């Protein structure tokens, strides 16, 4: 299978069929085990239990398949965070309590060995395939930012916060409170599991963020 020209942006994306979903799941395992370059589409097809031709019919390139596998892997984690928020498991207290719960939930599901391994592959291949990083960033923005925006919006409605630009504030929250510790773990500068020090640092980061959002007396 030819590797470059990723044609995934050429038109509307179809919902993957059952075979495509098997291929995507199998591809995730192979990419995480061998990396992008060493992973072969033959091994992915074998792992999925499908003919190689079935893979070629559904994915224009290995790059397109990797992007689908990466987003699929992250979606499995994000869905649980969305479910907590939708089912009311997120605390309904003040904005600080809600944002703290969101940060903990996102870090818990993202700082797993497979997601961090995926992040390393994307970072290494971003110069060659910038669409990898762009697609994952857009996916996370579309799924995670609304959770933070809703929390901030409620804080504004209750008079706790003054946030003129909810999207900008949500982006800053994820960048400062979530992405910073996640990137340290991905780089191997910190261990992925939680600790008392990390929980304290998370709370301090959140307090600093909220200090810029609190409503001041007129």
Look at 11-15, 79-83, 195-199 and tell me which has the smallest mean pLDDT.
11-15
Tokens found for residue 11:
């038109």
pLDDT digits (tens, 9 = 90+) for 133-155: 888 888 888 888 998 999 899 89
Q: Mean of the pLDDT values across residues 47-59?
A: 93
Q: Which of the four pLDDT bands, split at 50, 70 and 90, describes residue 94?
A: confident
Separation CA 197–CA 195 (nearest Å): 5
- Checking if the pLDDT of 93 tops 80, the result is no
Higher pLDDT, 57 or 15: 57
Higher pLDDT, 68 or 178: 68
Higher pLDDT, 36 or 85: 36
- Checking if the pLDDT of 5 tops 50, the result is no
pLDDT of residue 198: 79
pLDDT of residue 87: 65
Higher pLDDT, 47 or 193: 47
pLDDT of residue 201: 87
Task: Please state, for a pLDDT cut of 70, what percent of the chain lies above it.
Answer: 86
Orientation angle between helical segments 95-110 and 113-125, nearest 10 degrees: 80
Tokens found for residue 152:
């901030």
Contact 166, 153 (CB under 8 A): yes
Which residues does 179 contact at the CB level (< 8 Å), separation at least 6? none
Average per-residue pLDDT for the chain: 84
| DSSP result, the chain | -------TTSSPPPPP-HHHHHHHHHHHHHHHHHHHHH--HHHHHHHHTS-HHHHHHH-SSHHHHHHHHHHHHHHHHHHHHHHHHHTT-S--S-HHHHHHHHHHHHHHHHSSHHHHHHHHHHHHHTTT-HHHHHHHHHHHHHHHHHHHHHHHHHHHHTTSB--S-HHHHHHHHIIIIIIHHHHHHHTTSS-SS--HHHHHHHHHHHHHHHHTTBPPP-
Contact 214, 162 (CB under 8 A): yes
- Checking if the pLDDT of 88 tops 80, the result is no
């Amino acid at each position: 299978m030819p590797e470059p020209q990723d044609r995934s942006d050429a038109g509307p994306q179809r919902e993957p069929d059952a075979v495509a979903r098997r291929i995507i799941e199998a591809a995730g395992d192979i990419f995480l085990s061998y990396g992008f370059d060493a992973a072969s589409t033959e091994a992915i097809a074998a792992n999925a239990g499908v003919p190689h031709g079935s893979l070629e019919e559904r994915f224009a390139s290995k790059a397109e398949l990797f992007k689908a596998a990466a987003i699929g892997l992250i979606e499995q984690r994000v869905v649980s965070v969305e479910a907590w928020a939708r089912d009311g498991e997120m605390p309904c207290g003040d904005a600080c309590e809600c944002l703290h719960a969101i940060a903990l939930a996102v870090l818990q599901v993202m700082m797993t060995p497979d997601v961090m391994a995926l992040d390393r592959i994307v970072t290494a291949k971003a110069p060659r395939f910038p669409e990898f990083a762009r697609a994952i960033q857009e996916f996370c923005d579309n799924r995670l930012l609304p959770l933070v925006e809703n929390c901030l919006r409620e804080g504004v409605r209750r008079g706790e916060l003054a946030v003129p630009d909810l999207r900008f504030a949500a982006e800053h929250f994820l960048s400062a409170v979530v992405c910073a510790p996640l990137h340290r773990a991905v780089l191997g500068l910190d261990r992925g599991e939680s600790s008392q020090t990390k929980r304290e640092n998370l709370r301090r980061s959140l307090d600093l963020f909220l200090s810029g959002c609190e409503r001041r007396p007129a």
